[in-house]
């Protein structure tokens, strides 16, 4: 009988169902989730037989918070813990501190290092992560940075990231080209797409500015935006200002995966001007490459899935001109759309999926 593992996470994000469900099936794991996280949809707890309890996330100051009920879990009959590695969760600090005087093992699941940390944040992170038994990271970039900061490579485990792969692979196998875009736009121009929350950090107005610039140069493009958020009104005003009303489609928030797959599969190129994150996982899964910025210290770890001319490209950070050039170059290159599609499938199928993640976690937790 394998030892029970206690997993404590900030929230049960719906897009984490794939990896949590596989852990539930293949590992002896009890799940404890925080109760809220802005407007992110919560997964159905009934999907996890190991779900135990919802913890209350109590805001303290700035981004710092306390998970009520988390610390008491350290005194239950668990010997191993996997905890989301957010240094601004103060209850996690206390659990790590207690683990120093215990034989219990605490593993953190975290972005780790970005490369933009100030002296003070570096110091805080070094203390925080040094108390952990090991750290599960989303990418090799973070691992290399942490090794430079003095962390032992043997404590750092790269498991990448994923979405709901099992559902998505089933949908992907049935996808065929449709006329969804010619029917809507009444033209056959190339289609750019973005999927995700419409927030300031995503800098989505860059896409509109690049689209306007390219239109003036004779390259006509359509743009599809899937998602809602604080920037919707601002972006809508820009569409009207730039005269792009007939070439931009705000689909809105969408959770129905078959519909999402059709939009992505039939698009030509995803543009993510801010940090790319899980947008890359979603679009690559359905065969559409991604262009995002090249300042990796300000990126999310999913940028590692992008290879120039194979699964995407990078433009100069905060440069609309560079973004426009990269989009123009992409459509000027003699790239096979089907070959690009297969490249996108390959990177997701190889590393960025729950099977890979859980396989790596099991090696650490169980030794196989």
Q: Are residues 144 and 204 in the same domain?
A: no
Q: Are residues 157 and 80 in the same domain?
A: yes
Q: Are residues 172 and 259 in the same domain?
A: yes
Q: Are residues 133 and 276 in the same domain?
A: no
How far CA 161 is from CA of 44, 150, 216, 334, 346, in Å, comes to 20, 24, 39, 31, 15
**3-state SS class at 362:** helix
Q: Are residues 127 and 22 in the same domain?
A: yes
Q: Are residues 280 and 240 in the same domain?
A: yes
**3-state SS class at 57:** strand
Among 1-5, 35-39, 147-151, which range has the highest average pLDDT? Answer: 147-151
* Of the candidates 57, 26, 27, the residue with the CA atom closest to the CA atom of residue 40: 57
Q: Are residues 152 and 10 in the same domain?
A: yes
Q: What is the pLDDT of residues 289-340, one digit of tens each?
A: 999 999 999 999 999 999 999 999 999 999 999 999 999 999 999 889 999 9
Q: What pLDDT sits at residue 40?
A: 82
For 252, other C-beta atoms within 10 Å of its C-beta total 11
Q: Are residues 49 and 125 in the same domain?
A: yes
Q: Are residues 234 and 260 in the same domain?
A: yes
Q: What pLDDT sits at residue 1?
A: 64
d(CA 266, CA 258): 12
d(CA 110, CA 113): 9
Q: Are residues 27 and 174 in the same domain?
A: no
Q: What is the pLDDT of residues 125-179, one digit of tens each?
A: 999 999 999 999 999 999 999 999 999 999 999 999 999 999 999 999 999 999 9
Q: Which residue has the higher pLDDT, 2 or 186?
A: 186
Q: What pLDDT sits at residue 36?
A: 84
Q: Are residues 219 and 337 in the same domain?
A: yes
User: If you search the block for the tokens 């610039």, which residue do you land on?
Assistant: 213
231 and 198 in contact (C-beta within 8 Å)?
A: yes
Model pTM score: 0.91
Number of domains in the chain: 2
Q: What is the residue range of 304's domain? A: 167-350
Q: What is the pLDDT of residues 193-225, one digit of tens each?
A: 999 989 999 999 999 999 999 999 999 999 999
Q: Are residues 55 and 41 in the same domain?
A: yes
* Of the candidates 191, 195, 223, the residue with the CA atom closest to the CA atom of residue 209: 223
CATH code of the domain containing 20: 3.40.50.2000
User: Which tokens in the block code for residue 64?
Assistant: 């710092």
């Amino acid at each position: 009988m394998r030892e029970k593992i206690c997993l404590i996470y900030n929230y049960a994000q719906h897009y984490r169902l794939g990896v949590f469900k596989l852990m539930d099936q293949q590992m002896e794991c009890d799940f404890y989730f925080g109760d809220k996280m802005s407007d992110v949809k919560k997964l159905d707890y009934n999907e996890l037989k190991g779900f135990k309890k919802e913890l209350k996330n109590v805001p303290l100051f700035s981004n710092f918070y306390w998970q009520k009920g988390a610390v008491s879990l350290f005194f239950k009959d668990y010997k191993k813990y996997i905890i989301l590695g957010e240094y601004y969760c103060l209850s996690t600090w206390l659990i790590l501190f207690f683990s120093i005087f215990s034989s219990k093992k605490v593993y953190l699941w975290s972005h780790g290092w970005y490369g933009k940390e100030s002296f003070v944040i570096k110091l805080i992170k070094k203390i925080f992560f040094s108390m952990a038994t090991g750290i599960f990271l989303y990418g090799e970039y973070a691992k290399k940075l942490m090794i430079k900061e003095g962390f032992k490579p043997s404590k750092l485990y790269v498991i990448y990231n994923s979405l709901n792969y099992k559902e998505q692979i089933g949908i992907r196998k049935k996808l065929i080209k449709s006329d969804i875009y010619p029917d809507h736009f009444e033209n056959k121009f190339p289609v750019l797409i973005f999927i995700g929350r419409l927030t300031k950090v995503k800098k989505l107005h860059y896409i509109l500015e690049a689209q306007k610039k390219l239109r003036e140069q004779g390259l006509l493009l359509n743009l599809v935006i899937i998602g809602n958020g604080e920037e919707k009104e601002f972006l809508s005003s820009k569409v009207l200002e730039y005269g792009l009303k007939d070439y931009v489609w705000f689909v809105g928030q969408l959770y129905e995966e078959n519909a999402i797959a059709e939009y992505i599969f039939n698009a030509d190129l995803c543009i993510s001007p801010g940090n790319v994150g899980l947008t890359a996982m979603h679009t690559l899964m359905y065969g559409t490459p991604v262009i995002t910025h090249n300042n990796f210290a300000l990126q999310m770890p999913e940028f590692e899935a992008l290879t120039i001319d194979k699964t995407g490209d990078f433009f100069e950070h905060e440069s609309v001109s560079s973004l426009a050039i990269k989009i123009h170059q992409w459509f000027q290159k003699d790239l096979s759309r089907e070959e690009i599609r297969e490249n996108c499938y390959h990177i997701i199928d190889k590393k960025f999926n729950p099977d890979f993640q859980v396989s790596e976690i099991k090696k650490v937790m169980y030794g196989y």
